[in-house]
Amino acid sequence: MTKRSIYKACAFVLHTLDYGESDRIVTFYTDEFGKLKGIAKGARRSRKRFANAIDLFSCSTITFSRKNNQGLAIIENCDVINYYSKIRADLEKSILASYFIELTDNFTVEGKKNPQLFQLVRDFLGLIDSGNNPEEIARFFELRLLKLSGYEPALERCHVCNTPLDKTEDIFFSPLDGGIKCVKCAQNDVSSIPVSIGTIKMLLMGKEIEISKIHRLVFSKQSLKESSEILGSFIRHILGKNLNSLQVLNKIRKMNM
Ligand SMILES: [Zn+2]
């Protein structure tokens, strides 16, 4: 019989599923193993055993065992590092955090390690938890996640003819091609969305700026609308669906306006 090996990782809960009488299957995003599925035995019978560690977007140190470094892991132990209480106390923040988690889940596959993506989730949940909740945060998360997943949109020059951003008057974003286009190249692309240069410049700044300085970038109303539209349509095009949490978030934000 193959022996089970014991591993340790830092992990966020992406989602959970009830299993059998008393167990729960938990999907984590970990620093060392990427996306990982494990069974938390007895999690529904005894709340004490895993405490808050297997609630959505909790961050914990998990100890698990599995055979041959693959297959369903058995979660042996979880120690909560951050439960994000301030996020959980605020409906809008909770949904925004759920959106980040849903995006991470959709853009990752099991067993593929990406420590930078793990750090991105950690940094941005930290930003929401520390009180920053403007809409810009969601756009910068989307942009950075796209980049780390290999889908970075081309925003610096026309995707087709290479005309630089500053040398073109009207620009468009093409969700099909994942980049901006000048007016000439956008003519035959019915999917292309008009966008202002100011919006693209803000996104380019938000893509690179240090996390501690991110709150300095404040979008105009027009830029908020445009950036949400172009990144949203690009993500929808890649995933082929709308994400539930984003729809709920948009509804709540409209109600609060
Ligand atoms: Zn062009």
Task: Provide the residue ranges of all domains of the chain, joining segments of one domain with +.
Answer: 5-84, 134-256
Q: How many CB atoms lie within 10 A of CB 79?
A: 11
Task: Report how far residue 162's alpha carbon sits from residue 67's, in angstroms, rounded to the nearest whole number.
Answer: 50
Report how far ligand 1's centroid is from the alpha carbon of 198 (Å).
18
Report how far ligand 1's centroid is from the alpha carbon of 227 (Å).
20
Report how far ligand 1's centroid is from the alpha carbon of 116 (Å).
33
* Under 8 Å between Cβ of 56 and 13: yes
CATH architecture of the domain with residue range 5-84: Beta Barrel (2.40)
pLDDT of residue 255: 82
* Under 8 Å between Cβ of 148 and 104: no
pLDDT tops 90 at residue 4: no
Task: Report how far residue 35's alpha carbon sits from residue 107's, in angstroms, rounded to the nearest whole number.
Answer: 10
Dihedral (CA of 142, 143, 148, 149) sign: positive
Task: Report how far residue 256's alpha carbon sits from residue 197's, in angstroms, rounded to the nearest whole number.
Answer: 29
Report how far ligand 1's centroid is from the alpha carbon of 219 (Å).
26
Report how far ligand 1's centroid is from the alpha carbon of 136 (Å).
28
Q: Which two tokens stand for residue 178?
A: 């994942």
Q: Which two tokens stand for residue 159?
A: 């995707």
CATH match for 134-256 among 1.20.1630, 1.20.1440, 1.20.58, 1.20.1260 = 1.20.1440
- 134-256 has the same fold as 5-84: no
**pLDDT tens, residue by residue, 169-179:** 899 999 999 99
**pLDDT tens, residue by residue, 36-85:** 999 999 888 877 778 788 899 999 999 999 987 677 899 999 999 999 99
Please name the residue that has the structure tokens 């132990």: 77
Which of 159, 164, 165, 225 is closest to 192 using CA atoms? 159
Q: How many CB atoms lie within 10 A of CB 10?
A: 17
pTM here is 0.93
What totals of helices (H) and strands (E) does the chain contain, helices first? 9, 8
**pLDDT tens, residue by residue, 187-244:** 988 999 999 999 999 999 998 899 999 988 999 999 999 999 999 999 999 999 999 8
